Amino acid sequence: MSVAELKERHSAAIDTVNSLRHRLKQKRLSLLDTDICEYARSQGRTPVTFGPTDLVCCRTLQGHTGKVYSLDWTSEKSQIVSASQDGRLIVWNALTRQKIHAIKLPCAWVMTCAFSPTGQSVACGGLDSVCSIFHLNSPTDKDGNLPVSRMLSGHKGYVSSCQYVPDEDTHLITGSGDQTCVLWDITTGLKTSVFGGEFQSGHTADVYSISINASNSRMFVSGSCDATARLWDTRVASRAVRTFHGHEGDVNAVKFFPDGNRFGTGSDDGTCRLFDIRTGHQLQVYYQQHSDNDIPPVTSIAFSASGRLLFAGYTNGDCYVWDTLLAKVVLNLGSLQDSHDDRISCLGLSADGSALCTGSWDTNLKIWAFGGHRKTT
């Protein structure tokens, strides 16, 4: 077979794939005869309302000298770890603003950080393609720096996201620019499983975010620059359980819904979406129309403890609080007096659901406290 014939067959195959992809998209759209919002309205549900004191900025954490890229709360204590391109991780006391640790990193280009379930360790990763583990109780070196306890090496691209397996300080999952996710045994520093890569059901572009199901820690979801999210079972690394389509841009953020049966996504296309892992269907799109047709990408998302609220950070500095039931923005933290001066790069909710922390390229973190009955929303 000549080169010209191979090119012709390759071109024909691409056309067939694109045609099938279009037909699948149309079929999915035809099945979406309703969404959560329409059903909720038909049942007479009303949006959540916010008063002037229901969600207020109570603390600003200042200390970083570079853009804040990632943050995470401890599961029990009131502590936050943040990662910045000033080359440091800072562990904060969220109540007092005190800096408990300022960890100098081996690579300044950090993209992600995470607390271990016990709060005894923190992990981070970035452009060095390594996930570094620090034990917070380790003695410092002669220069006063906390040494790296373990380096998880093996990715062939940057480490974009990391998360400890719930209730385990010994296992962690990373997502990478090499299009794979990896489950690591921290004790040995070795890979337990690799998700994607050479497998056809894996992502076809950089993995940018992951979220582990708190209700079933064997399941996790990944978001990618290939505009899809994929559900994985750590017991079956050879293929994704399900692939979720719908976005028209990079999927920058994924987060499981509190019940573990759904998850949310945030994308460069300016939308957040809610998917059901049991049916594979898209349940709702969260999109705010802008008058100037400038659609800011979504950088990060988080759900309230009940799932009624979805917090979404955007590149223009907005931080919308969505009513997930009625797909309505009930508050924009970016419009408040104490808001950030630059893009919202990361956000997260405390374990008890009583506070939200946002991180920004303005080098600061802000803690937003729920007042009154909103604490349990």
Decide if 220 is inside a domain.
yes
Q: Are residues 177 and 206 in the same domain?
A: yes
Tens place of pLDDT per residue across the chain (377 aa): 788 888 888 888 888 877 887 787 777 667 666 788 888 888 889 888 887 778 899 999 999 999 999 999 998 779 999 999 999 999 999 999 999 999 999 889 999 999 999 999 999 999 999 999 999 999 988 888 899 999 999 999 999 999 999 988 999 999 999 999 999 999 999 999 999 977 667 999 999 999 999 999 999 999 999 999 999 999 998 899 999 999 999 999 999 999 999 999 999 999 999 999 999 999 999 998 876 678 899 999 999 999 999 999 999 999 999 999 999 999 999 988 889 999 999 999 999 999 999 999 999 999 999 875 444 34
Q: Are residues 160 and 279 in the same domain?
A: yes
Contact 120, 79 (CB under 8 A): no
Amino acid occupying residue 141: D
- Taking the CB of residue 30, how many other CB atoms lie within 10 A of it? 8
> How many domains are there within the chain?
2
| CA–CA dist 173, 211 (Å, integer) | 9
What per-residue confidence (pLDDT) applies to 238? 83
- Name the CA radius of gyration of the chain, rounded: 21
Q: Are residues 25 and 163 in the same domain?
A: no
Residue 1 belongs to what domain range? 1-31
Residue among 211, 170, 176 at smallest CA distance from 192:
170
Residue pLDDT, tens place only, 10-23? 888 888 877 887 78
- Give per-residue burial for 209-222: e unless 16+ CB within 10 Å, then b: bbbbbeeebebbbb
- Taking the CB of residue 206, how many other CB atoms lie within 10 A of it? 18
CATH code of 249's domain: 2.130.10.10
